[in-house]
Amino acid sequence: MICFLLFLSCFSTANAQQVWSPDNGNGTFTNPLMWGDWPDPDIIRVGDDFYLISTSMHYVPGSPIAKSKDLVNWEIVGYPVERYDEDPRFDMKGGTLYLNGSWANTIKHHNGKFYVGFCTPKNWGWDKGNFSICIADKPEGPWERTIFPEFLYDPGLFFDDDGKVYVAHGQGTLYLTELNADAKSVKGKDVKIWDKRFKNANEFGGGFGMEGAHMYKINGKYYITCPAGGTEGWQICLRSDNIYGPYEHKLIINDSSSYPPNGLHQGGMVQLKNGDWWFIIMQDRGAIGRVPVLLPVEWKDGWPMLGSGNKDVITYKKPNVGKVYPIKSPATTDEFTKQKLGLQWQWNHNPDNEKWSLTERKGYMRLKASYADSLKVARNTLTQRVQGPNSEGTVEIDLMSLKDGNVAGFGVFQFPYAFVAVEQTDGQRRIIMNNNDKIIEQIDNFKGDKIWIRARVTDRDFIAKFYYSIDGENFYVIGNDLKMQLELYWTANRFALFNYSKTKTGVDGYADFNWFRFTNK
């Protein structure tokens, strides 16, 4: 029986934050590492530190990097992409760019520098778009980004022993492309290295192509790990004595027992100082997200077989890193007392930095209204991951400075989305519950200047429930349940704070968020 342990971390405010922790406190851990959306993970070790990078698509800042000392306990440390300036639609001008941004990040450390690569598809395609390389001296930044005209889908950056630099990439058909020594431009042409598709995990001939390539050189041989089969898929490893092949292949994990029917697919592996290897791989858990799972690597006949006896047994002995480190989890709760935005937060598209502030009113996140006819196109929607198996977010909002047309509130964002908000019209306020752009319930003649709003999320049937309070103590159910879905493919549902104006005259209004508090209820 899996034991879902809760980690209690105390804050100076005397409020508690309960967050899923994989660390069982007895030398073992229980997957997942983070019960939230950290898709397409890649992993490296630099000295005693491990770094994990993840896809974030249209959310800004982009490409979150987490750090760990033991591969089990993680904290967010930085983002290679501060914003996307290559298209005005990232500013929601002339349209939106949902699902664009960073896909399938790859991370390496070479000659004292950190390198991050990702692709940005156009129109969600597999054959058009561009590729980016970001370089920094440390993961906290600053980062320098170079945008390539070439499109290298699902890239795996690789530095060979002879100083040459490559990217393995592709979907279905895999290619190898050489970069120049500074990794800022393409040197050679694409070379096809694999074009077989799978009928199932064990046979060729079907429609399942490989993607998400990550390349390694181990004991003189080249290895490329790739997922195939999609959400219910598996992990394949290619091996060759020559970087351009020919490559033989091996199925290294095909197990969905931990969250059936979804398999383990797309990730990367890392070697510990003691020589052990571990693999971080994602598992799709529906509307909560694609979660990272940590598996030991058992080398058999020169192949990295994942799990215990090639099965995911869910709970394992922690990696042997030589020390025991404190339990940590990525930040969630925020009292908004700092002058910089917490690393747990990402904006929906590029923010308008003139329209938010952590300093104009000390201890509050001020969101100034921008014109929008719905939350879907509202600037400065501030988000963070919902988490499983259950999570609850609560906010306190000061409404004194709302203007007519303003809609200020809190909810769960994806497509569809739902929220509770205060809307002001002709000087009158009402509390509304909006589910997928339909007002389900409203409470007219609201006279208060403060409101508390709560959303509760569970992975059981992927339901979100909504509550409000006018005194901060007594909460009442409002509206109906949101059946969380993924119409925005591949990005999970998120808690969202917002204030937008349905009238252009209301753009000088603002809402002050006193705090956001997270628990795993």
Looking at the chain, the domain(s) classified CATH 2.115.10.20 span 37-298
Q: State the CATH class of domain 37-298.
A: mainly beta
pLDDT score of 5: 34
- The answer on pLDDT for 206 being more than 90 is no
Residues of the chain with CATH 2.60.120.200: 346-519
**Residue-wise pLDDT tens digits, 45-92:** 999 999 999 999 999 999 999 999 999 999 999 999 999 999 999 999
Q: Assign 321 a pLDDT band (cuts: 50, 70, 90).
A: very high
Confidence of residue 126 (pLDDT cuts 50, 70, 90): low
In this predicted structure, the answer to whether residue 262 has a pLDDT above a threshold of 70 is yes
Question: In this structure, are residues 45 and 59 in contact, taking their beta carbons and an 8 Å threshold?
Answer: no
For range 432-456, the mean pLDDT: 97
pLDDT of residue 125: 61
Convert the pLDDT of each residue in 219-250 to its tens digit.
999 999 999 999 999 999 999 999 999 999 99
What pLDDT, on a 0 to 100 scale, did the predictor assign at position 71?
Answer: 98
Give mean pLDDT, residues 349-378.
Answer: 97
Mean pLDDT of the chain: 94
pLDDT at 10: 33
Residue closest to 429 by CA, chosen among 450, 411, 452: 450
pLDDT in tens, 264-304: 999 999 999 999 999 999 999 999 999 999 999 999 999 99
Q: Tell me the pLDDT tens digit for each residue of 487-501.
A: 988 899 999 999 999
Q: What pLDDT shows up at residue 188?
A: 85
Q: What is the percent of the chain where pLDDT is above 90? A: 92
Looking at residue 16, what is its pLDDT?
41
Q: What percent of the chain has pLDDT over 70?
A: 96
pLDDT in tens, 8-36: 333 333 334 478 999 999 999 999 999 99
Report, as an integer, the average pLDDT of 369-390. 96
The pLDDT value given to residue 520:
86
Q: Report how far residue 453's alpha carbon sits from residue 468's, in angstroms, rounded to the nearest whole number.
A: 5
Strand partners, 109: 114
The candidate with the shortest Cα–Cα distance to 373, out of 92, 100, 121, is 92
Higher-confidence residue of 9 and 360: namely 360
pLDDT at site 295 = 98
d(CA 314, CA 291): 13
pLDDT at position 2 is 35
Radius of gyration in angstroms for the set of CA atoms belonging to the chain, rounded to a whole number? 23
Q: Name which CATH class applies to 346-519.
A: mainly beta
Confidence of residue 436 (pLDDT cuts 50, 70, 90): very high
Is residue 422 classed as helix, strand or coil in its secondary structure? strand
| pTM of the predicted protein model | 0.94
Query: What pLDDT, on a 0 to 100 scale, did the predictor assign at position 478?
Result: 98
Of the ranges 1-15, 146-160, 296-310, 416-430, which one carries the lowest mean pLDDT score?
1-15
Provide the 8-state DSSP code for 407.
E
pLDDT at 99 over 70: yes
Model pLDDT, residue 452: 98
Distance CA(11)–CA(17), nearest Å, equals 8
Out of 114-128, 215-229, 334-348, pick the least confident: 114-128
Overall average pLDDT of the 394-405 stretch: 98
Asked if residue 513 lies in contact with residue 497, where contact means CB atoms within 8 angstroms, the answer is yes
Q: How far is CA 198 from CA 101, 126, 173, 245, 256, in A?
A: 29, 18, 12, 19, 18
Q: What is the pLDDT of residue 521?
A: 75
